Amino acid sequence: DNDLDVLSASSFDATIAWYPNTDGAGTFGARQVISNECQYAMWVAVADIDKDGDLDVVSASLADDKIAWYENMDGAGTFGAQQIISTQTDAALFVQVADINSDGWIDVVSVSMQDGKVAWYHRQRWRYRYSSSVFG
């Protein structure tokens, strides 16, 4: 519908959710849970990870050291199961998405609090591969 919705990472109930903009003017509907498997969810980002034309969600969660993504199954906000990118972070604090190496696939960058690492996960077709730690 091209209305801007709200996406949230809720650390206290381990939930990634979105709130639909119901009228295009900033009236939001009820919380739509994407996942409740993110222990101390800290950050979310959006991008078309699977190149199907809709926005998918990427999350960072601190307590379970997890970077994960969720496929937007229908373009209308129905999301698939959590797909793990990494559990090797040390207190994942932040995540961002971009095509880092200009290969046409969305890559993921994360920041870990305990070890101070900035990590890059390179998308290779349908899976992610750890590429490097930029710092730390």
Query: What mean pLDDT value characterizes the chain?
Result: 92
Q: What is the mean pLDDT of residues 69-82?
A: 96
* CA 136 from centre of chain: 22
Q: Which residue has the higher pLDDT, 36 or 123?
A: 36
15 part of a folded domain: no
pLDDT band at 2 (very low <50, low <70, confident <90, very high): confident
pLDDT of 85: 95
5 burial type by CB count under 10 A (0-12 exposed, 13-18 middle, 19+ buried): middle
Q: How confident is the model at residue 130 (pLDDT cuts 50, 70, 90)?
A: low
> What pLDDT is recorded for position 133?
62
CATH number at residue 68: 2.40.10
Q: Which residue is associated with the tokens 């295009």?
A: 24
Residue ranges making up the domain that contains 73: 41-135
Structural domain count of the chain: 1
Q: Which residue has the higher pLDDT, 12 or 130?
A: 12
- Is 20 within a domain? no
- What is the model's pLDDT at position 69? 97
On whether residue 32 sits in a domain, the answer given is no
Q: pTM of this prediction? A: 0.91
Cβ–Cβ < 8 Å for 59, 71:
no
* H or E element that contains 45: strand 41-47
- Residue type present at position 121: Y
